Amino acid sequence: MDIIQLLPDSIANQIAAGEVIQRPASAVKELLENAVDAGATEIKLIINDAGKALIQVIDNGKGMSVTDARMSFERHATSKIQKIDDLFHIKTMGFRGEALASIAAVAQVELKTRREEEELGIYLEIENSAVVKQEPCATPKGTNISMKNLFFNVPARRNFLKSNVAELRHIVEEFIRVSMAFPAIYFSLTSNGQEMLHLEAGSLKQRVVQALGNNLQSQLVAVKDETDYINISGFIGKPDVSKKTRGDQYIFVNSRFIKSAYLNHAIAGAFSELIPKENFPLYVLFIDIDPTQLDINVHPTKQEIKFEDEKIIYAFVKAAVKHALAQASVAPSLDFSLNPDIQQLDAVNKPFGEENKSAAAASNLYKTFTQKNQAHFIEPDNKAELKHWQNFYQPTNEQEIDKKFDIFPSKEHSDNPIALPSYNLLEIEKKEAIANKVMSAAPCIQLLRTYIVAPTMNGFILVHQQLAHERILYEKFASIIHKKSIVSQQVLIPAELRLSIADSILLEDLLPELEIIGYQIEKLMEDIYSVTAVPADVVNGNETKAIELLLEQFKHFNSDIKFSKREKVVRCLSRQHAIKAGKTLNAEEMKQLVEGLFRCQTPNLSPSGASPTYIDFKEEYLDGLFGRK
């Protein structure tokens, strides 16, 4: 018997939908791009239950005829391509003719559409790729399409969807990508009856600020570079707004959002030495190029494209960003004009009279610049003379030596005091390991403001202060979050926290865990919060920055699905509040840190398990280094 047979259209469409419609955000992208292609000036997106129950897009575009409305849901039906050469001249968003067919295969679809020249529009109801109802209807000019109960007929696919918060974040991201590419179009996003984003038509800078946050108003640098081959425009963020995740990075080629690690590397190269290596710059860049110089037909989502000559694009993009940074003078510099103290100095305010000139000309410093054979001359300075040198040879007791040459100053006199947590909150018994490892009476030494040398009974250990403190805080917060008992300290003046819409969604999801840890955060209005309390033993000051960094680190951990949300919060908090490498510690702080480390359940590993917190140098190993075995 013959065993190869053609698949039914319904099954073929569902298979195709697996490539095009991966989650609610994928359908949002396709429907928004169709509205843009229809020439709409106003586009409204309405979602319920993070797109699982409803995704509705309403536009005022040109609408469709009855025949076009029916044909739009057929596979490979498109108005954009007539011949093969058209594939290399694509300037619209959608062109494959698979989006609506894929959506109709996995959701219940309702469509209302009307052209301006027609009195009545058409209403279609489609389920399982089959039209179940068609009738004339009264509807405004444009298209109103709703897709309900996504993956209702593919329950296995529906079960793989993430939580509503996670899916909503993906929808917001796709919405921002499309709206950013077309600032001249009005966009709005409504979720469960509440308007989340209202983006009025305007300039690109206005759209960037509306979408990514008002705090960027003065932090954007314009990029504009035009050549016969390529035009590059848009905005880059100043080094101050760089983040530890790639969230706010947008590259558009011919108004189409793309993902390109190659171009990301080019832009990061332009920011080298301006931002820390682990940070990522903010940018919204538009590349306009002849469509024949690229291929956008390499991926079903159309977010990956191929340039004919990637090296030239790389060079142009890097040069354009560097040029913009140079034009804006974004580089480490000293701006004396901004310091009012300098303006009050006599050298600036008072005239340089004849008396001052005579005094200056008589000085030895002036002679070294004006007379011959004076450049090598150094005037003796009585202040530099070594006084009381005999005292070095007078005997003294050990206590006085300790006072004169105190390598480990007390905490009260430290220039860089820090507040370490009280480790008794860990509620972990002191282990025998610390008695065997560290000599409590011996002083510790800090190396390179990063490592701590602690003597042991048979050698010494080299502790990484940041990783060690992360381990201590991790076990402390883990203990607290499971016992749900924490002492909060009220902030004297509540700190105001302004977030983007995507970060607001993430913060709302994390609030229960943050409250258990000790944070108290109240919502004042849309996207504005107030931090009224922080965990005990956490240094006060700059609470808003701490929350922003916490959200950034959570996004970084969010790619690892093996951790629960609570575990990610604990890891983020421990990293956020840990003593950083480069922090000067005094003797008492170093001792506290080492002792606190060995009270931990797992003192030898960082919270991630990827790095050791200390390295043990034993006497046998040290002898071997000198060939004394």
- Count structural domains, the chain: 3
* Mean pLDDT (whole number) for 310-315: 90
pLDDT over 70 percentage in the chain: 77
The predicted structure's pLDDT at residue 302: 63
Residue 383 domain-assigned?
A: no
- CATH number of the domain that residue 435 is part of: 3.30.1370.100
> Is 76 found in the same domain as 162?
yes
The predicted structure's pLDDT at residue 429: 40
Lowest mean pLDDT among 259-263, 362-366, 608-612: 362-366
Cβ pair 400, 392 in contact under 8 A: no
The predicted structure's pLDDT at residue 411: 40
pLDDT digits (tens, 9 = 90+) for 199-238: 999 999 999 998 888 888 888 999 999 888 899 999 999 9
Helix 543-557 crosses helix 565-577 at what angle (to 10 degrees)? 130
* Residue 408 reports pLDDT greater than 80: no
Residue 346 domain-assigned?
A: no
The predicted structure's pLDDT at residue 498: 84
The predicted structure's pLDDT at residue 108: 93
> Is 49 found in the same domain as 184?
yes
> Is 113 found in the same domain as 231?
no
> Is 583 found in the same domain as 447?
yes
The predicted structure's pLDDT at residue 185: 96
Residues 6 or more apart whose Cβ sits within 8 Å of residue 279: 242, 243, 244
% helix, strand, coil for the chain, step of 5: 40, 20, 40
Lowest mean pLDDT among 108-112, 221-225, 271-275: 271-275
- CATH number of the domain that residue 178 is part of: 3.30.565.10
User: Residue 589 is which amino acid?
Assistant: E
* Residue 595 reports pLDDT greater than 70: yes
> Is 131 found in the same domain as 247?
no
pLDDT digits (tens, 9 = 90+) for 354-373: 777 777 777 776 766 676 65
- CATH number of the domain that residue 248 is part of: 3.30.230.10
Q: Which residues form the domain of 551?
A: 423-617
pLDDT digits (tens, 9 = 90+) for 154-168: 887 888 888 888 899
**DSSP-derived 3-state class of residue 493:** strand
* Mean pLDDT (whole number) for 262-274: 89
* Residue 597 reports pLDDT greater than 50: yes
Mean pLDDT of the chain: 80
* Mean pLDDT (whole number) for 116-124: 93
Q: Which of 199, 215, 243 is the last residue of a domain?
A: 199
> Is 209 found in the same domain as 194?
no
> Is 508 found in the same domain as 461?
yes
Q: Which of 155, 171, 199 is the last residue of a domain?
A: 199
Lowest mean pLDDT among 20-34, 77-91, 92-106, 307-321: 77-91
Q: Which of 199, 232, 267 is the last residue of a domain?
A: 199
Query: With a threshold of 0.75, does the pTM exceed it?
Result: no
The predicted structure's pLDDT at residue 567: 80
Residue 389 domain-assigned?
A: no
Using pLDDT thresholds of 50, 70 and 90, give the confidence band for residue 420.
very low
Q: Which residue has the tokens 């201590």?
A: 472
Q: Dig out the tokens for 104 from the structure.
A: 């109709």
Residue 409 domain-assigned?
A: no
> Is 176 found in the same domain as 220?
no
Residue 413 domain-assigned?
A: no
Q: Dig out the tokens for 540 from the structure.
A: 């006060």
Cβ pair 61, 38 in contact under 8 A: yes
